[in-house]
């Protein structure tokens, strides 16, 4: 695996491969690589000739500067895991090489995401999704991937990227990949590292509630299905359900009736031991 930190070097290297008509698959990450990321890398490497993964802890998507500072960073370990998963190129840019931080406010404000960025995760973390779209556009322009791979775990992010790429005619195929889970069903996340085995088992109630919710939803109204999941989570005193919303999977507008949409998703965020865990299920 080649490690490149200069955008010009990466661009020139990839252009030479494109001349040979190679397909490029791209996986953007913030590092702290785990099995969830590796699932995307493995799929990209099956479907392309060249797999590029980026590690960049993106300041524009953190509202809280303390969280940005504390985000786990361990490049040597990450590089080893990615290399074993058949990643060909690891791109580790410095912020200064990607954009000039003094002039980004106007650029961020001009990003339009059809209000999908204002609900659920976006309501809790304002500007987060604009920051994601901002940085991804930079990556897409440098790497010009044929396909880019994202996890269904962050389903709102995935749908926002699909919208943004389409609206801005960015020529990349966006591929959503199944959420990789612990054996107990808990969606794997870099934040899980802060939980003990016992705590992870407690947190597994998040996904089991979603699965139960799916099966009982056939007999309940939207509002009763929501209450069911929220009560189920909150019955454990250490867990606090921040939201559980049943929404249309494209507009992310909350539904009143099951007949309001053909593609319905239940999205949840739970506070547990000082961290936020998110997950979702197709209903
Ligand atoms: P992050 O490093 O957290 O920005 O995540 C990078 C990519 O990995 C995003 O597309 C995430 O949705 C995806 N991802 C994170 N966790 C998982 C998981 N458990 N299963 C599948 N994809 C994941």
Summarised one tens digit per residue, pLDDT across range 71-124 is: 999 999 999 999 999 999 999 999 999 998 888 999 999 999 999 999 999 999
Quote the pLDDT of residue 28.
98
Kindly state the DSSP code that residue 149 receives in the 8-state scheme.
E
Q: Which residues contact 54 (CB under 8 A, 6 or more apart)?
A: 26, 27, 28, 29, 90, 91, 92, 93, 139, 143
Distance from the alpha carbon of residue 150 to the mean position of ligand 1, in angstroms: 6
Q: Residue ranges of the alpha helices (H) in 168-243?
A: 197-203, 205-216, 222-234
Average pLDDT over residues 233-251: 97
Question: Taking Cα atoms as reference points, which of 77, 79, 80, 74 lies closest to residue 90?
Answer: 79
The catalytic residues are: 37
The answer on pLDDT for 18 being more than 90 is no
Nearest ligand 1 atom to the CA of 154 is 12
Nearest ligand 1 atom to the CA of 37 is 8
Strands 173-177, 147-151: pairing kind: parallel
Quote the pLDDT of residue 192.
92
Write the Ramachandran bin of 84: left for phi over 0, alpha for psi from -120 to 50, otherwise beta: alpha
Average pLDDT over residues 61-71: 90
The answer on pLDDT for 21 being more than 90 is no
Residue with the smallest CA separation from ligand 1 atom 16 is: 36
Q: How far apart are CA 224 and CA 43, in angstroms?
A: 38
Sheet holding 275-282: strands in order across? 239-248, 264-272, 275-282
The answer on pLDDT for 19 being more than 80 is no
């Amino acid at each position: 695996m080649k490690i490149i930190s200069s955008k010009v070097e990466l661009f020139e290297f990839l252009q030479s491969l494109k001349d040979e008509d190679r397909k490029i698959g791209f996986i953007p990450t913030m590092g702290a690589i785990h099995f969830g990321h590796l699932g995307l890398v493995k799929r990209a490497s099956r479907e392309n000739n060249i797999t590029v993964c980026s590690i960049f802890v993106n300041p524009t998507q953190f509202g809280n500067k303390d969280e940005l500072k504390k985000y786990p960073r361990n490049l040597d370990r990450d590089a080893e895991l990615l290399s074993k998963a058949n990643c060909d190129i690891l791109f580790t840019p410095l912020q200064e090489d990607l954009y000039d931080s003094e002039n980004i406010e106007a650029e961020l404000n001009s990003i339009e995401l059809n209000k999908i960025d204002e609900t659920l995760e976006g309501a809790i973390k304002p500007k987060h999704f604009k920051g994601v779209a901002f940085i991804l556009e930079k990556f897409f322009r440098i790497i010009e991937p044929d396909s880019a791979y994202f996890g269904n775990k962050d389903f709102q992010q995935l749908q926002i990227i699909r919208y943004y790429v389409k609206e801005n005619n960015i020529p990349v195929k966006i591929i959503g990949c199944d959420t990789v889970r612990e054996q107990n069903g808990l969606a794997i996340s870099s934040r899980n590292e802060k939980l003990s085995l016992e705590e992870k088992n407690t947190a597994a109630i998040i996904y089991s509630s979603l699965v139960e919710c799916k099966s009982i939803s056939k007999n309940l109204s939207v509002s009763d299905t929501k209450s069911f999941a929220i009560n189920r989570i909150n019955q454990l005193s250490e867990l606090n359900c921040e939201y559980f919303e049943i929404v249309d999977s494209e507009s992310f507008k909350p539904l009143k009736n099951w007949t309001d949409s053909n593609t319905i998703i239940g999205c949840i965020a739970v506070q547990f031991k000082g961290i936020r865990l998110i997950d979702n299920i197709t209903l």
